[in-house]
Amino acid sequence: MRNKALLYIICLLIAIGGVSPAFGQIRYGQPTAGQLKFTYSHWKIENGDTATTIDQMSFPVSGFLPLKDNLEMHLFFAGATNNVDNDDGDISLSGLGDMRLQVNQSLANDQWLISVGMNLPTGKKSLNPAGKQILSVLSENYLSFPVRRLGGGFGFNMLLATAKASGNTRYGGGIMYQFNGTYEPYEGTGDYNPGDMISANAGVDIISDPTVVSVDVIYSLFTEDKIEGNKVFKQSPLLDLRLGVLRKMGSSSASLRLRYAMRGDNKWYNSGSQEVISSLQLFGNEFLLAGNASFAVGESCHVIPLAELRLISENEMNLGGASIFGFGSNFDYKFGKQTKLSLGGKLYTGSADGGNYDLSGVQLTAGLTASF
């Protein structure tokens, strides 16, 4: 008999360890499944009389394949088309992203998990100056886009995790290493290595039926970014604190999530002497409060209203704080037992750089999931 009480926390260790969300579910005993999704994102940034609009249409595809008992594989890839329009004109970037594969092996009645993944460099790279400008906009942390880059280098990750249960408490921990290979992101930049990551995480679930309270702590370290073998940048350590509450009420449910991300100083290097020339916080600390409720409408439908608030502190590079509020709803409809249609919409409003930028956005999603 499968120890299902431990599967949730094990899959959470994957999700919070840095692996793509496409690989964040352990589905032992489930059939082969696939998902097609479309997401349209639109943002407008206003600064006085000037305005910049960013539009993205992304097309992620994910799949799940049970290989044998206790062994499964996930795959994910996405394409995107992006457009940025401002006073300097209109520029576009379209292409495919990298393909990612993840294989999960459960051991010892699901108390141990070994997971290995690969990033296959199938995406668009060596971007021209217009493409570089678009990726710079997509990387702004106060904006929300499902696809922030296209191609990268070959990479792989390895995860070892364990979980146990004692009474109404589930607890676990894991460690993950992610290798990022060399590639040329922009024309003429040379070989760029974005550095590797190692992440340790621990979590506990306290169950008081019908409520589950989850607490998770993740700490990540990064090695230096290099161009042509020379150190140029090092990302700061990241401490990620998370609290979640889930309450089930018959066929309906409600959840609340809090997250606080603490970031340290990033380092810049002189490419010749390899000495640190600057050490500043590039991204401010971030607080997230998000909630949703799922209401059953008949046997096949669920309506899911949701809202979130993001607060980002100022950094040490003269960029002020940001606050973004988002709200909307999702709609799920099941066709029999094997097919589900999902539709969603969300509106955003807020400000960035200490109020210098006014933000507004919209995100529309449509997805089809089928099992075979």
Statement: residue 190 has pLDDT above 70: yes
Using CA atoms, how far residue 118 sits from 73, 238, 288, in Å, is 11, 23, 30
Which pLDDT does position 27 carry in this prediction? Answer: 53
Which pLDDT does position 29 carry in this prediction? Answer: 62
Look at the alpha carbons of 131, 44, 261, 203 in this order and tell me if their dihedral is positive or negative: negative
Total domains, the chain: 1
Cα(276)–Cα(270) distance, integer angstroms = 6
For the chain, the C-alpha Rg in angstroms (whole number) is 21
Alpha carbon 253 to its chain centroid, in Å, reads: 23
Work out the pLDDT band at 10, boundaries 50, 70, 90. very low
Least confident of 21-25, 177-181, 250-254, 307-311: 21-25
Q: What is the CATH number of the domain that holds 134?
A: 2.40.160.50
Q: Mean of the per-residue pLDDT values for the chain?
A: 90
Which pLDDT does position 334 carry in this prediction? Answer: 93
pLDDT tens digits along 44-97: 999 999 999 999 999 999 999 999 888 999 999 999 999 999 888 899 999 999
Structural domain boundaries, residue 114: 4-371
Statement: residue 14 has pLDDT above 50: no
Say what the pTM is: 0.88
State the burial class of residue 334 (Cβ atoms within 10 Å of its Cβ: 0-12, 13-18, 19+). middle
Q: Please give the full DSSP string across 256-322, using - where no structure is assigned.
A: EEEEEEEE--EEEE-TTT--EEEEE--S--EEEEEEEEEEEETTTEEEEEEEEEEEE---SSS---E
Beta-carbon count within 10 A of 320 CB: 16
Using CA atoms, how far residue 126 sits from 130, 159, 186, 201, 280, in Å, is 11, 30, 4, 35, 28
Work out the pLDDT band at 13, boundaries 50, 70, 90. very low
